[in-house]
Chain A
Amino acid sequence: MEALWFWLLALMLTTYVVLDGFDLGAGIAHLLIAKTEDERKAVLESIGPFWDGNEVWLIAAGGTLFLAFPTLYAASFMGFYLPLIIVLWLLMFRGLSIELRNHAPSPMWLPLWDVCFAGSSALLAVFLGAALGNVVRGVPLDAQQEFFLPLWTDFQPGREPGILDWYTVTVGATAFCALWMHGLLWVERKTSGTLSERASAMARRVALGVAVLTVVVTAATFVVRPEMWQRFADAPWGLVFPVAAVAGLGTVMAGKRPFAGSATYLVGMMLSAAFSLFPVVLPSSTDPALHLTIYNTASGAYSQSIALWWWIPGIVLTTGYFTMLFRKFGSKVS
């Protein structure tokens, strides 16, 4: 049961990254590819009906984490207090920029929100990547399953690291480029004319950066957490995830169905991370006996099993909503 919830949660977070990833990425690319007011409107319109629902995947994943692994939720939210609050502020700024921009079309109002939108999107991508980096690297958990991390210490991923060190910043940079690419490909798909062409050309170049960073981050991960090799050696079927990531990125570079390619890349990367951590959900940087795992953080057998009874119909409904939404707003924006 614990393993089942682990994978359901991994799937929810992966869905979040793939869906919100394209609107975050569109935000990163916003100022770089959209030059005229019409183009900027087109970028915003391409994500308009989707971004809020996409973000709900993060909230719903948070709720599901709380439900299935409350100890993990409690430990990580206290330990990552500062970056989480900063992420909240960024999410607030970003939501407001998208929603409020078009309420008052004045030459002061519009660029203000455009910059807020692009800036908060970019920082969110870096922070989300760094968050994943922190989970892989581990944190100084104590015997009460608690910790607190400052934003940075000496930028070294040692026993007493900060949120930001050279490793997590590298993961953050990778996430930033990956989502940037993902967003460009979304804009390419959803718009037409010069805007679409510009996005396409930039995506090809960013994809090269993503490829380099993927190699770097993979190497760095095995330096920081060598035992991750072991998981792939024990269960070689797991190699399907990194292979999918590579294939996805290859598809982007080849230029055929590139958006599907970058989605596959993101799924592959996320599930590779999940697979190589399992059954650990938050490693201890000081003592492997203090790792938080799916077993010592679970909410209880009744709680986890009764929740499946409403969770499955819920996810079926949600899939229905999203299918309908993407069909309804499936065409290119004008």
Chain B
Amino acid sequence: MDYALALHRFQFAFTITYHYLFPQLTMGLALLIVVLKTLHLRTDDVRYAQAARFWAKIFGINFAFGVVTGIPMEFQFGTNWSRFSKAAGGVIGQTLALEGMYSFFLESTFLGLFLFGEKQLGRIGHWVTAFLVFLGSWLSGFFIIATDAWMQHPVGYTTLPDGRIQLESLSALLLNPWTFWMYLHNMTGSVVTGAFAMMASGAYYLIAGKHVEQGKLFLRIAVPVATVAAIAMLFPTGDGQGKNLAKYQPITLAAAEGLFDTEAGAPIAVLGQPDANRGKLDNPLLIPRMLSMITYQRWDAEVKGLNHFPKDQWPDQIELLYYSFHIMVGLGTIFIGLTVLTSFYLWRGTLFRSRWLLWVLMLAVPFPFIANTAGWFAAELGRQPWLIYGLMKTSEGYSVRVSAGNTLFTTLGFLGMYGLLSILYLFLMQRELEHGPSSEEAAH
């Protein structure tokens, strides 16, 4: 691969991976904050308002980090992927401009009111601002998924003789069949992250013996939400996404599953290391016929392996794609087990005494971030070698006039910046967590 191209890919992958650590938490928390505010409205129990205030502070910090790391993304389409932007701007310019117009203005206006206006706005007014922040962040997610879905499965366009791609139908773009499952799958993933963060904080307070009442409240709210979301990651959203993959990107499915030979009654690999050169999976641990069943609902259905397709159509990072996919699925399965078990303990009334389980919940907090990141890696590596599936190769889309030297310069700068951001973030989160939910009245 061209060195400059490799650096452009690395820079974009790094900045977007780092960025998405924050929105996945804030989108999930936005929903949970609306839940807390709604419970406060309905029960008049002041503890819900205190919990909402605490999570609003956590949300505020994470939102700020999300904004500052998100601004580069909007620029990098042009700075790093100029040829792609020139070709596809007529289409994805719509969704990106829609995001700016309909979600960024909404979020930025109402976040300030939500964070600083609790006293002035009154209970219902404050609930409305919480809801609008939630709406803004989830709309933002929709426009980004619609953009990515078009790159995964382009619809509603025509190609001009000079290679530029023009929009033919805005409704087709927004109602892309790929968008539906991908959006639900992604947003459910962010709810898993948010709910796991809330569970972990609750578990931490119980273990540490501080803010115990609030800790219990966090767990009572977050455990059921996490359980429902973890199950919904598998079915229906993951299932729907997988079927789209089988239908529109069978090569990606084969690579993600590590399936080299076409088989009737194809197995699922639970473990194993793909050897792309020799075309086989080393040390495989297989569940026979399972892949055929979940993909086509028949035990003996034929699933096409990688060897069925010409090699220049194969994703160029089969190994990383395979591991990303397996990490996502493996962690997702563990989340279901853990949350169902925790729900059972909560229902029996023994969760708050089961210290071992509280420890597990507290230490589980990084894993939804890893699973969501791995899921995005699987989606984006799975699309390779295409930048726009079937239309434009990644190697045709980058900014050819930006040299490797300049890209490496800014990449190193981003690495340094984001290292610094990480230190600041951990410092601030630790402070807020130590301070905890206070019983004071709302700040004015």
Give chain A's interface residues, CB within 8 Å of chain B: 48-50, 52-53, 55-56, 59-60, 62-64, 66-68, 70-71, 73-82, 84-85, 88-89, 91-92, 95-96, 99-100, 103-104, 145-148, 299-300, 302-303, 306-307, 310-311, 314-315, 317-318, 321-322, 324-325, 328
Contacts and interface: CB of A to CB of B under 8 A. Distances in A.
Nearest to B72: A88
A103 B427 CA distance: 10
Interface residues of B, number: 63
Contact of B406 (A81, A314, A324): A81
A77 B100 contact: no
Nearest to B104: A56
A269 B85 CA distance: 30
Contacts of B424: 96, 100
Contacts of A79: 401
B90 A299 contact: yes
Interface string B420-438: 0100100110010000000
Contacts of A325: 109, 112-113
Interface of B: 60-61, 64, 67-69, 71-72, 74-75, 77-79, 82-83, 85-86, 88-94, 96-102, 104-106, 108-113, 116-117, 120, 164, 166-168, 170, 399-403, 406, 409-410, 413, 417, 421, 424, 427-428, 431
Contacts of B110: 321
A219 B69 CA distance: 40
A66 B82 contact: no
Contacts of A324: 109
A66 B97 contact: yes
Contacts of B82: 74-75, 77-78, 146
Given A74-B85, A104-B431, A314 B116 contact: no
A70 B97 CA distance: 11
B413 A59 contact: no
Given A66-B96, A306-B167, A82 B90 contact: no
A85 B94 CA distance: 24
Given A71-B86, A321-B106, A302 B166 contact: yes
Q: Nearest 4 pairs between A and B by C-beta?
A: A70-B89, A77-B78, A67-B93, A60-B100
B401 A148 contact: yes
Interface of B is mostly: helix
B75 A92 contact: no
Chain A CB within 10 Å, residue with most, of B116, B117, B167, B428: B167
B93 A299 contact: yes
B54 to A, nearest CB: 14
A52 B67 contact: yes
Given A66-B93, A67-B94, A100-B424, A49 B78 contact: no
B139 to A, nearest CB: 12
A299 B410 contact: no
B218 to A, nearest CB: 22
A179 B403 CA distance: 34
A96 B108 CA distance: 15
A132 to B, nearest CB: 17
Given A49-B112, A81-B399, 7 more contacts: A59-B104, A66-B93, A77-B399, A88-B71, A317-B106, A321-B110, A328-B120
B74 A63 contact: yes
A82 B64 contact: no
A78 B79 contact: yes
Nearest to A103: B428
Contacts of B89: 66-67, 70-71, 73-74, 299
Contacts of A96: 64, 68, 421, 424
Chain B CB within 10 Å, residue with most, of A60, A77, A100, A311: A77
A325 B105 CA distance: 11
A59 B86 contact: no
Contacts of B94: 67, 303, 306-307
Contact of B108 (A53, A82, A317): A53
A211 B355 CA distance: 70
B47 to A, nearest CB: 24
Contacts of B64: 95-96, 99-100
Contact of B85 (A55, A73, A88): A73
